[in-house]
Amino acid sequence: MKVGIDLGTTYSTVAKYDKKTSRPEIINNKFEKELTPSVICFLDNGEILIGEDAKDMQAGGAGTIAASFKRGMGDNSFTVESNGKVYTAEDLSAMLLKKLIKDAEEKSGEKIDSVVITVPAYFNDFQRTATIRAGEACGVKVMKIINEPTAAAISYGYNRESNKTVMVYDLGGGTFDVTIVKVNKGNIQVVGTDGNHILGGKDWDAAIVKFVCEQFLEEYGVDPRDDEPTKNEMIVASENYKKVLTKTDSVTIQVRHEGYTGKYTLTREQFNMRTQFLLSATKDVCMKLFADLGMNWSDIDEVLLVGGSTRMPQVTEFLKKVSGRPVIDHADTDLAVAKGAAITSEFYCSTSTGVRDVQITDVTAHSLGALSVSPGGDRYINEIMIKRNSKVPTSVRKPFKIDPGNMTSVIEVFTLQGESRVPLDCYVLARVVITGFYNSGEGTLIDIEYNYDENGVVRVSAFQNGQPLQVDSQPVPDDITWMNDPPKDRGSGAPIAKNVVLCIDLSRSMRNSLEEVRKVINDFVMTVAGDNTKFGLIGFGDKVGIMRDMTSDPNTIVAALDGLKVNVYGRGTDACPLGTASMMLSNRPGGKMIVVLTDGIWGKRDFAVGEANICRNAKTAVVAVGIGDADWGFLKQISTVEEGAMYTTLDRLGETFSTIATALNTGSMGVRESAGDTARLGTGEIRGRIR
Ligand code: ADP
Ligand code: MG
């Protein structure tokens, strides 16, 4: 038998799809209850109680209690210790799952062999993998991990014919999630998801504690919150008062502290007023998701309520008002997720024999990036590979560059989860080590690929020239604070060899610019010159002329610059200097760059683009600087590096060339894959960290 399991923070539920009735059905536990508390109790005599029995013990205060362990999933520092044994959240989840499965088997008289387990949409790779392992530890096949809001949408939408866009508004105990889903004849397509994971029912409880204590303080001059046990008791009691307010218009609350007794009445209206800001905060999350997706309330057909806290009547009122849309308050709030998982186990798993022609498309809740070095080489950045709200499964491959001069044979890639460019603002998910590649030391390119599978689990692979490389998982080190520091030891000590050919347009239209050009190029050469740098100088017009072949003596270049004159190679620009320049650079060790300066569009434009491609294949960086009548589109076509098309003015030519000098000195300008490709290469290079 296949079942769906809602492995909840506070309660868990098991459901199966009943083929006779064509409906998902909850499988009750031994106590004939639909929900089983997600609680485990370790008694001192070694006995372990799970579920209902454990919850009873929790109330009585006996044994060691493990509760809300779902929050610790994937976090190895979360442990519960009992009788000398240490349990991680994964161990505890496995124990709970085993119990849920055993109870459901006894109840239904059927053996369970495969399961679908639900997780919060924001669960990361670690937490999902830990959930899969917990399931497998029970000896069942985990067919699929599915997001809770998606499951809720499935249980609501799988049997509807209509084409609807539904917002799943899930307000639980400690988290709020919003997910937009398109439902069409059983096809479920998740459009986007977002959430606030510190906002939930507990904040409404806290508002009640605050209300009571403020009045108590005013009346007796002491604050019950100053006494920790009293405070904890009040927090627990407030959850019940809150539930009373769901049913009635007011509740009377009594508090004893330091010999005083206060008695206060809280009306639903007062409660609503005092918690209005919390509802507004949920709306902010919805608006942010809308902004991300370019949507609005008018795109939503229905709002579907999920989560225990949506039972509060003010939630429906508020949502009706702000959305202007029908708000569906599902009678099944607690069960929708498990039922959706059951439906999934029958129809939406690749191994299933279901015949419905349906599918689920889900999205990623977070962006995933790779730790890389900024274009300027001065800091580490999160280079995003897969953007949040991308459809899954998905795979993205991007080229990265090893610093020229760095002879490493080992690269480590850190997988980062989060939206920030700053690595330590993100969650460091994993680390892999790549080996077995050829490194020429001239800025070797390695393709890194991220695969995000249907369960939301990420796999990293690497390629060189299309050939797969060895990739091994390694633990993330405890100390990763270095990600905040500037990247050190670029290169392997030896200075990077650089070869630069300067190509100057000497057509007639350049006549008034040449004096400035001479000065700017002079400065550029003197800035970049060094033992390891060689220059060449080309002039072009209707023909191409080599004015100086490759030399490491900057003075000979400076002398040649003095001889710059227009019209010596013809009045027009029918020639392209790239082929000649490329020839001058061929077979030279180190980085290769061609800098072209022009003030117009060349006569044989297509020919120039072809020669630029040859340069690209030879891993030669072509930087195209344009002034006057040059156009940026053309510059972009002939440049081979990121931001290598530079349209500027004569006034700012010096600035432009100093940008190029910096890029050359830091080796941060890499070759782009194809013309017009906006991202990559050189924007981020994975550091080859030498060990
Ligand atoms: P989670 O999925 O985060 O474990 P649930 O969806 O089960 O949470 O919702 C639990 C929350 O719902 C708790 O904060 C609880 O107080 C609240 N809740 C449950 N029933 C009611 C009710 N009748 N009125 C108000 N809040 C409720
Ligand atoms: Mg929930």
* pLDDT digit string, tens, across residues 225-259: 998 888 888 888 999 999 999 999 999 999 999 99
Query: 309: CA distance to ligand 1 center in Å?
Result: 4
Of 110-124, 247-261, 648-662, the least confident: 648-662
Residue 614 has pLDDT above 50, yes or no: yes
CA of residue 212 to ligand 1 center, whole Å: 21
pLDDT of the residue at 377: 73
Tokens of 239: 């959850």
Ligand closest in space to the Cα of 314: 1
Per-residue H/E/C for 332-348: CCCCHHHHHHHHHHHHC
pLDDT tens for each residue of 583-607:
999 888 777 899 999 998 898 888 9
Any alpha helices (H) in 540-577, and if so which ranges? 554-562
Distance between Cα 636 and ligand 2 center (Å): 51
* Mean local confidence (pLDDT), 210-219: 96
Q: Which atom of ligand 1 is nearest to the CA of 10?
A: 4
C-alpha to C-alpha distance for 341 and 151, rounded to whole angstroms: 6
Residue 649: pLDDT above 70? Answer: yes
For the segment 366-389, the average pLDDT, to the nearest whole number, is: 85
CA neighbor of 452 nearest in space, from 389, 399, 386, 398: 386
Confidence band, pLDDT 50/70/90 cuts, at residue 670: low
For the chain, the 3-state helix, strand and coil shares in percent, each to the nearest 5, are 35, 30, 35
**Contact of 97 with 134, CB cutoff 8 Å:** yes
Q: pLDDT for 138-157, tens place per residue? A: 999 999 899 999 899 888 88
The pick from 7, 36, 271, 309 for probing ligand 1's pocket by mutation, whose C-beta has the most ligand atoms within 8 angstroms, reads 309
- Ligand 1 pocket check for 582: Cβ under 6 Å: no
Q: Whose CA is nearest to atom 26 of ligand 1?
A: 309
Whole-number pLDDT of residue 681: 31
**Residue 167 pLDDT more than 70?**
yes
DSSP 531: T
pLDDT, greater one: 125 or 687: 125
- Say whether pLDDT at 611 is over 50: yes
508: left (phi over 0), alpha (psi -120 to 50) or beta: alpha
Ligand closest to CA 172: 1
Q: Which helix (H) or strand (E) holds 81?
A: strand 79-82
Sign of the CA dihedral with 323 first, then 324, 326, and 328 last:
positive
Q: Give 222's contacts (C-beta < 8 A, 6+ positions apart).
A: 216, 257, 258, 260
Q: Is 408 exposed, middle or buried (0-12, 13-18, 19+ CB in 10 A)?
A: buried
- Average of pLDDT values for 565-574? 90
Name the band, by pLDDT with cuts 50, 70 and 90, for residue 672: very low
Select the more confidently predicted residue: 42 or 563: 42
Residue nearest atom 12 in ligand 1 by C-alpha distance: 308
Residue 674: which pLDDT band, with cuts at 50, 70 and 90?
A: very low
DSSP 563: T
Q: How far is the CA of 77 from the centre of ligand 2 (A)?
A: 24
pLDDT at 482 over 50: yes
Q: Does ligand 1 come within 6 angstroms of the Cβ of 369? A: no
The whole-angstrom separation of Cα 81 and Cα 90 is 14
Contact in structure between 385 and 458 (CB atoms under 8 Å): no
Q: What is the CA radius of gyration of the chain?
A: 33
pLDDT at residue 129 is higher than 60: yes
Is ligand 1 within 6 A of the CB of residue 231?
no
Would you tell me how many other CB atoms lie within 10 Å of the CB of residue 168? 29
List, for residues 287-331, the tens digit of each pLDDT value.
999 998 999 999 999 999 998 899 999 999 999 999 999 998 766
Instruction: Quote the pLDDT of residue 669.
Output: 60
Ligand nearest to the CA of 247: 1
Contact of 115 with 142, CB cutoff 8 Å: yes
For ligand 2, the distance from its centroid to the CA atom of residue 473, given in whole angstroms, is: 32
pLDDT given for residue 331 in this prediction: 67
- Across 71-85, 255-269, 485-499, least confident range: 485-499
Q: HEC states along 3-29?
A: EEEECCCCEEEEEEEECCCCEEEECCC
DSSP 140: -
How many Å lie between the centroid of ligand 1 and the Cα of residue 650?
A: 67
Cα(105) to centroid(ligand 1), Å: 28
Q: Give the mean pLDDT of 384-388.
A: 90
Confidence of residue 678 (pLDDT cuts 50, 70, 90): very low
Q: How far is the CA of 205 from the centre of ligand 2 (A)?
A: 17
Q: Is the Cβ atom of 8 under 6 angstroms away from ligand 1?
A: yes
| Three-state secondary structure of 328-395 | EECCCCCCHHHHHHHHHHHHCCCCCCCCCCCCEEEECCCCEEEEEECCCCCCEEEEEEECCCCEECEE
Ligand index nearest the alpha carbon of residue 201? 1
| Residue 456 contacts residue 123 (beta carbons within 8 Å) | yes
CB of 12 sitting under 6 A from ligand 1? no
pLDDT of residue 683: 33
How far, in Å, CA of 282 to CA of 139, rounded? 40
**286 Cα–ligand 1 center, Å:** 20
Q: Please indicate whether residue 307, judged by its CB atom, sits closer than 6 Å to ligand 1.
A: yes
**The pLDDT of residue 330:** 65
| Domains present along the chain, CATH in parentheses | 2-199+277-363 (3.30.420.40), 368-489 (2.60.34.10), 498-666 (3.40.50.410)
Neighbours of ion ligand 2 (CB under 5 A): 172
Q: Which of 50-59, 291-300, 479-488 has the highest mean pLDDT?
A: 291-300
Amino acid in the structure at residue 620: T
Measured in degrees and rounded to the nearest 5, phi and psi for residue 367 equal: -80, 150
Taking alpha carbons only, the member of 603, 605, 503, 500 closest to residue 551 is: 500
Rounded Cα distance between 237 and 223, Å, is 17
pLDDT at 408 over 80: no
Q: Report the separation in Å between the CA atom of 671 and the middle of ligand 1, taken as the mean of its atom positions.
A: 55
State the closest ligand 1 atom to the C-alpha of 245, by its place in the atom list counted from 1: 24
| Nearest atom in ligand 1 to 9's CA | 4
Amino acid of residue 551: T
- Take atom 10 of ligand 1 and give the residue whose Cα is closest: 173
Q: What is the DSSP letter of 208?
A: H
Distance 424 CA to ligand 1 centre (A): 33
Using the predicted structure, report yes or no on whether residue 159 has a pLDDT greater than 80: no
**CA-closest candidate to residue 40, choices 49, 32, 29:** 49
Write down the pLDDT at residue 492. 35
Helix (H, G, I), strand (E, B) or coil at 572: coil
Assign 272 a pLDDT band (cuts: 50, 70, 90): very high
In which band, very low, low, confident or very high, does the pLDDT at 689 lie, cut at 50, 70 and 90? very low
The rounded Å distance from CA 171 to ligand 1 centre is 8
Quote the ligand 2 centre to 186 CA distance (angstroms).
23
Edge-to-edge order in the sheet of strand 360-363:
327-329, 302-306, 163-171, 176-184, 187-196, 360-363, 391-392
Q: Is the distance from the beta carbon of residue 172 to the nearest atom of ligand 1 less than 6 Å?
A: yes
> Which residue has its alpha carbon closest to ligand 1 atom 8?
172
**Which amino acid type is present at position 493?**
G
Residue nearest to atom 2 of ligand 1 (CA): 172
Q: Determine the 3-state secondary structure of 656 from DSSP.
A: helix
Burial 127-166 (b: 16+ CB within 10 A, else e): bbbbbbebbeebebebbbbbbbbbbbbbbbbbeeeeebbb
Could you tell me if 443 and 686 are in contact, meaning their C-beta atoms sit under 8 angstroms apart? no
Ligand 1 atom with the shortest distance to the CA of 239:
16
| pLDDT reading at 679 higher than 70 | no
* Cα 7 to ligand 1 centroid, rounded to whole Å: 15
* 308 touches ligand 1 (CB under 6 Å): yes
Peptide bond into 149 cis (omega under 30): no
| 87 Cβ neighbours under 8 A, 6+ residues apart | 66, 79, 80, 81, 95
Query: How many CA atoms within 13 Å lie on the side-chain side of 346?
Result: 23
> Which of 121-125, 320-324, 374-378 reaches the highest mean pLDDT?
320-324
Read off the pLDDT band of 401 (50, 70, 90): confident
The number of beta carbons lying within 10 Å of the beta carbon of residue 497 is 19
| 87 pLDDT more than 60 | yes
| 8 A C-beta contact, residue 400 and residue 384 | no
Residue nearest to atom 11 of ligand 1 (CA): 173
Return the top range by mean pLDDT from 434-438, 451-455, 478-482, 622-626: 622-626
pLDDT for the residue 211:
96
- pLDDT reading at 345 higher than 60: yes
Between 238 and 669, the higher pLDDT residue: 238
Query: Which among 5, 6, 10 is the best mutation to test ligand 1's pocket, defined by most ligand atoms within 8 Å of the CB?
Result: 10
Tell me: pLDDT of 356 over 60: no
Q: d(Cα 8, Cα 26) in Å, to the nearest integer?
A: 15
Q: How confident is the model at residue 188 (pLDDT cuts 50, 70, 90)?
A: confident
Strands (E), 83-186: 85-88, 114-119, 141-147, 163-171, 176-184
**From CA 353, how far away is CA 362, in angstroms rounded?**
21
CB of 173 sitting under 6 A from ligand 1: yes
C-beta of 242 in contact with ligand 1 (< 6 A): yes
Q: Answer with the residue of higher pLDDT: 107 or 363.
A: 107
The CA 103 to ligand 2 mean position distance, Å, reads 22
Token pair belonging to 110? 């059927």
* Beta strands in 197-335, from DSSP E residues, in sequence order: 250-257, 260-267, 302-306, 327-329
For 672, the token pair is 């782009």
Determine the pLDDT at residue 86: 93
Percentage, residues of the chain above pLDDT 70 = 92
Nearest atom (ligand 1) to Cα of 247: 23
- Predicted pLDDT at 486: 81
pLDDT for the residue numbered 671: 52
Query: From the CB of 243, is ligand 1 less than 6 Å away?
Result: yes
In DSSP notation, 420-460 reads: -SSGGGSEEEEEEEEE-----SS--EEEEEEEE-TTS-EEE
Alpha helices (H) along 294-335? 313-323
Query: Six-digit token pair at 131?
Result: 């959930």
Is the Cβ atom of 311 under 6 angstroms away from ligand 1? yes
Encoded amino acid at 617, one letter = N
Residue 675: band (very low, low, confident or very high) from pLDDT cuts 50, 70, 90: very low
Distance separating alpha carbons of residues 144 and 119, to the nearest angstrom: 11
